[in-house]
Structure 1
């Protein structure tokens, strides 16, 4: 099983800055992730929360709930949440960080990820396709 976690403001996909994030919604993204998982023969569970503490708990508890890996879009928490970084580092599951937009081509503050260094990999700027690639990477174990 793969856990897909989306952080702050991703519940506003389709409404928030469509020129940056597109017109598809979080529900569209979650449906696609579940479909991609089904194609690969692995169940995918999607969750979103605007609260850092809830994301931490889901990461900390993921292995106990039978997940084999985590796809994580931390949103703005990417750039400053050492608590999120420590939660990722403090558990054994592989985590792939994903960003819909190319964070390195945006505002300066978005160029630094405090979480990427403790993730298996980072995918940025490929839209929803980045989630598919992250799921594939976790399923393949690469």
Structure 2
């Protein structure tokens, strides 16, 4: 990919706009910087500027990511956590942001996803349906223990 040539000021503004459009993590911004021809000192200065001016805020990003993936995509904690770790977010920060998901909402969503998927399974024995549903929910990032509780309630 051909790198674009912009002045330092233009690049700084473009990266600020990139952060304003949607909350970003450091890794995403550093990746975006590869599109521009910048010396390491310029990259550092831009990162510092973005942090000082609150365009780049790792905690805000983490909280927003957790809310979005749970409330919009119905992902479970495990999947959200692994995706955040992949983006370079620390375990400590992730753990401090779980309060973005209301526990009652989490249980309701888990039940909703469980029941919706379970209802689609036709022509299977009860234990097969439960097994498939458990597998499906685990791929959606829900904890095995939480799924087991739902399975037990069904009996």
TM class, shorter-length: under 0.3
Larger Rg: 2
Instruction: Determine which structure has the larger strand proportion and give its number.
Output: 1
By relative contact order (CA 8 Å, sep 6+), the higher-ranking structure is: 1
Instruction: Determine which structure has the larger helix proportion and give its number.
Output: 2
